[in-house]
Amino acid sequence: MQKTRLIAADKVEGTRVYDLEGNRIGSIENIMIDKLTGKVAYADMSFGGFLGIGERHHPLPWNLLKYNTKIDGYEVAIDRDKLEKAPTFEPDDHPDWEDPSWGQQIHAYYNVTPYWL
């Protein structure tokens, strides 16, 4: 069980992500932090595939994730169908995380306020 509210970035990587019904939908591969504001902007969540084959990565706005101490993982209020249709990228084809139009598209898809506002 987590004893503090703070966590090192390398401890977030690999943490499982669940939907609200308790189904595992992926895990955090990386987090993106805005160097100027210190805000965590995105979680790069891996999804699908088997042994890394066919795996896709989903940029999730960080404010979608809520840590649940009971399951020792993050929960998101996203159903599998919406996630399967969400913007993705291949593991070796990283997006331009700082592109404002790309960021706007991600936040609009999930209907959340961009972290920079």
Q: What is the pLDDT of residues 40-61, one digit of tens each?
A: 999 999 876 555 555 788 999 9
Q: Are 55 and 46 in contact (CB under 8 A)?
A: yes
Q: Which whole number is the average pLDDT over 59-64?
A: 94
Task: Reply yes or no on whether the pLDDT at 2 is more than 60.
Answer: no
C-beta neighbour count of 34 within 10 angstroms: 15
Residue 3 lies in a domain: no
Tell me the CATH number at 69.
Answer: 2.30.30.240
Residue 49 lies in a domain: yes
Residue 37 lies in a domain: yes
pTM of the entire predicted model: 0.84
Higher pLDDT, 1 or 58: 58
Q: How many domains does the chain have?
A: 1
Written as one string, the DSSP assignment of 42-104 is EEEEEES-BTTBT-EEEEEEGGG-EEETTTTEEEE---HHHHHTS--B-TTS---TT-HHHHH
What is the overall mean pLDDT for the chain?
86
Q: Which whole number is the average pLDDT over 84-98?
A: 82
Q: Which whole number is the average pLDDT over 59-71?
A: 94
- When pLDDT is cut at 50, 70 and 90, the band that residue 92 belongs to is confident
Residue 4 lies in a domain: no
Q: Which domain holds residue 21?
A: 9-110
What is the reported pLDDT for 105?
93
Residue 115 lies in a domain: no
Residue 99 lies in a domain: yes
Q: What is the pLDDT of residues 99-111, one digit of tens each?
A: 889 999 999 999 9
Q: Are 48 and 58 in contact (CB under 8 A)?
A: no
d(CA 68, CA 75): 7
